[in-house]
Amino acid sequence: MDVKNDMDWSIVLYAWAFSILSFGLAWMFVRSKWLSRELPQDKGVFVQGAFRSNLGIIGIALCINSYGDNGLGQAALLLAMVTPLFNVLSVVVLGHYQASGKGVDIRHLSLTVAKNPLIISIAIALPLSYLNLSLPDLLSKPVESISDMTLPLALLCIGGSLDVSVLKKSSSLSVISTVLKLLLFPALAAIGAILLGFESMTVGIIFLMFASPTAAASFVMAKAMKGNGIMAANIIALTTVLGAFSVSLGLFLLKSYGFA
């Protein structure tokens, strides 16, 4: 995308605001009296599963499938600007509920975020795009070939790694997190975008990105920060399987009423 000319800060600010809002709502929910007896290592995983979307694989794929190249620019913008925020918020909540009770090691967590390959690639790509610099043909052609292969390969890997048996172990907390991720938060994201007057394609892209299933990386982060890895896997599996239905239904309703 052409960051210098196509950068729409209204979309970015809305995505940031809604990410923080959904994060805060999920955290408030898990702190309520109904869930006060849940284990600390479960609470952090619950919050991360409820707000963190798989933008880089599923979200982009949904936007391309629904809007083609026209929607790719806005989807890529959201991916680039929201992914670092997702990582930081996940670190905050998982660190808060770390089972070790040692608190949050800011230096270690900062290094973890800074070493994230997706964040590194975004940090490199944005200034190159802004300065309108391109790779030489010697590099651009093989990179484009890898790029064309990445999305379908990633989708195949996600499908092949799903373990249906994991779904049988889903706790009530996993189910509630899934409901927030697939139903409540995407609906709020779309309604807010409509009320703010975004054009129909933008509303659809915002909905698709936030309606995407929980990011697979949330399992790795949960395990690394002493969270409940089994519960994180349950949420990923549930949202990935059920998301196919909730996303389709949501986008159908939005398009039926002319909002997407």
pLDDT tens string 77-115: 899 889 889 988 998 888 888 755 555 567 776 777 777
| pTM beyond cutoff 0.75 | yes
Q: What is the end-to-end Cα distance of the chain in Å, rounded?
A: 22
Q: How many other CB atoms are there within 10 angstroms of residue 244's CB atom?
A: 11
Residue in 89, 109, 86, 102 with CA at minimum distance from that of residue 224: 109
pLDDT tens string 113-138: 777 777 788 888 888 888 888 888 88
Q: How many other CB atoms are there within 10 angstroms of residue 99's CB atom?
A: 14
CA–CA distance, 124 with 197 (Å, rounded to integer): 32
Tokens linked to 57: 């694989």
Q: Could you tell me the domains of the chain?
A: 3-256 (1.20.1530.20)
H or E segment and range at residue 185: helix 185-195
Beta bridge partners of 53: 214
CA–CA distance, 152 with 121 (Å, rounded to integer): 20
pLDDT tens string 194-242: 999 999 999 999 999 999 999 988 888 888 788 888 888 889 989 998 9
Task: Provide the strand spans (E) within the chain.
Answer: none
- Which band of pLDDT confidence, cut at 50, 70 and 90, is reported for residue 75? very high
101 compared with 17, residue with greater pLDDT: 17
Q: Which residues contact 192 (CB under 8 A, 6 or more apart)?
A: 14, 18
Residue in 20, 52, 40, 45 with CA at minimum distance from that of residue 181: 52
